[in-house]
Structure 1
């Protein structure tokens, strides 16, 4: 075995330990290096690696008792922004960064929409707002502590440069959950809860994808069991 072949085999063994998304990124980089940059590689070392199976994903739902306790605690919390953020997450399925990064110009309360220009999937989307989401956003936009010129819906304290950046609520969220005894609930679980509610409400896959930003229908398959349970209820109502 030549030096190049041994080096390639060693690299493939190391890459085999990588996560699926890391392998996909590396494969793309090697392909670009070979085809576009012509760096002299003999082949893409990732091409023949068997990709590890992706897990089923977290399936944590927010219970009605937890939602009630969180809502009550957030109502009393010193900074109302945390409560508004929580409500928007449950009502819209928006990611935490999408919520905290919102600018005033992106929110249209009259039309009840929020326009997201920068998302995790790199695609812009328009999110419809429920009445509860509109109420939360109205409270945030009319926040009396907002300084003139601040275009963030959810803003933090000014930095050393005097600029305000998105409100970082992570520490407060963790402490609040710990006090309530629900530390295992992650903020991203609220997105899963929102999407689950859309499915349970009868929205189609295309409609749910348009709201949540899921690019692939494959990513929505984890919610299929919700539709099946709903069909069982329908069968019972029809006496079948």
Structure 2
């Protein structure tokens, strides 16, 4: 039996092993399967890998590397370091029937087909299904593209054909910058004490929701050991939220947070405002106060100036004033 059950880091995992004498040579291979797959899936994958390994070492045929193979390799080698590993595994498992057996070197027509299916309102059997937005489709295909690129990087694929994938273009740029009045109205409408505090902190710090929930308050400011860009950072505490920073300890779950936020924004008359918009509002306030984009990017924790450039249109008036000073005598 090529599949055995082991315990790794306190969790049950499956491991595939292959050991045979092929044409006088001993061939040994072992691979840890990604977490979350069933015993049936593990057995099917084990038989498939057995067949491919035997064919490869006898020269009978060169095995086709499928997208499913690439995903399994990527998950096995890299998933331990992903912050979104649970979510990514769930998404990949959901769509596995659509990509598992697809040749990873023939991506153009397949990608067009899968995009069409994801947008469709009926499934393969004709039953109603919920269509995915282009943003969600792009997310799924980005996971698959990363797996294929990794398989090519480690030598499992001869060529990287991901450039031929047809992926929907999505414009994620949003132009809503809540002002202080909007923030305060939502905060006043919020009945949950912790969320009400987080609303004010977000506007006066530019922190993301997750950062607010895990930030440590120190004498230097909000301390974040782990951020989206991989670097620790300190955000000074604005005087208007200094008391909240000392007194508020966040204990609620993300689900509780979202429910309280949605109720508050609806009650205040801003049903389309997202919590992340408060971060944009903080950037807008700083820029309108004359703070340069480099400093704004530092406060927001941007690793690259490219991320901060989304706010460049907010400095138009200041740029016009600067141009107007050309040629003036001092």
Please tell me the root mean square deviation across aligned C-alpha atoms, in Å.
Answer: 3.3
What whole-Å deviation, never above 9, does each CA across 1:39-95 have from its counterpart, x for those lacking one?
2x2211213447655515111121444234224334xx3x42122101110011111
Secondary structure at 2:188's aligned position in 1? Answer: helix
What whole-Å deviation, never above 9, does each CA across 1:142-172 have from its counterpart, x for those lacking one?
xxxxxxxxxxx3013xxxxxxxx67832111
Secondary structure at 1:19's aligned position in 2? Answer: helix
Question: Is the alpha carbon distance of 1:221 and 1:172 closer, same or farther for their aligned partners in structure 2, counting shifts above 3 Å?
Answer: same
Q: Hey, what's the Cα distance between the residues in 2 that align with 1:45 and 1:237?
A: 52
Larger Cα-atom Rg: 2
The reply to whether residue 35 of structure 1 matches residue 153 of structure 2 is yes
The reply to whether residue 130 of structure 1 matches residue 217 of structure 2 is no
Q: 2:227 aligns with which of 98, 114, 119?
A: 119
What whole-Å deviation, never above 9, does each CA across 1:182-215 have from its counterpart, x for those lacking one?
1111111111111122222222332222211222
Question: Could you tell me whether the CA contact under 8 Å between 2:183 and 2:200 is conserved in 1?
Answer: no
Q: Hey, what's the Cα distance between the residues in 2 that align with 1:234 and 1:42?
A: 54
Question: Is the alpha carbon distance of 1:56 and 1:73 closer, same or farther for their aligned partners in structure 2, counting shifts above 3 Å?
Answer: closer
The reply to whether residue 67 of structure 1 matches residue 183 of structure 2 is yes
Deviation at 1:178, TM superposition (A): 1.6
After TM superposition, the score normalised by the length of structure 2 is: 0.53
Question: Could you tell me whether the CA contact under 8 Å between 2:204 and 2:238 is conserved in 1?
Answer: yes
Deviation at 1:137, TM superposition (A): 0.6
The reply to whether residue 80 of structure 1 matches residue 193 of structure 2 is yes
Give the equivalent residue in structure 1 for 2:207. 94
Question: Could you tell me whether the CA contact under 8 Å between 1:92 and 1:133 is conserved in 2?
Answer: no
Deviation at 1:8, TM superposition (A): 5.0
Question: Is the alpha carbon distance of 1:229 and 1:21 closer, same or farther for their aligned partners in structure 2, counting shifts above 3 Å?
Answer: farther
Question: Could you tell me whether the CA contact under 8 Å between 1:155 and 1:167 is conserved in 2?
Answer: no
Question: Is the alpha carbon distance of 1:69 and 1:192 closer, same or farther for their aligned partners in structure 2, counting shifts above 3 Å?
Answer: same
Question: Is the alpha carbon distance of 1:133 and 1:84 closer, same or farther for their aligned partners in structure 2, counting shifts above 3 Å?
Answer: same
Question: Is the alpha carbon distance of 1:216 and 1:22 closer, same or farther for their aligned partners in structure 2, counting shifts above 3 Å?
Answer: farther
Question: Could you tell me whether the CA contact under 8 Å between 1:98 and 1:116 is conserved in 2?
Answer: yes
Question: Could you tell me whether the CA contact under 8 Å between 2:187 and 2:264 is conserved in 1?
Answer: no
Q: Hey, what's the Cα distance between the residues in 2 that align with 1:7 and 1:27?
A: 13
Deviation at 1:98, TM superposition (A): 0.9
Give the equivalent residue in structure 2 for 1:185. 273
Structure 1, unpaired ranges of 5+:
141-152, 157-164
Task: State the structure with bigger RCO (CA 8 A, min sep 6), 1 or 2.
Answer: 1
After TM superposition, the score normalised by the length of structure 1 is: 0.71
Size of the alignment, in residue pairs?
Answer: 206
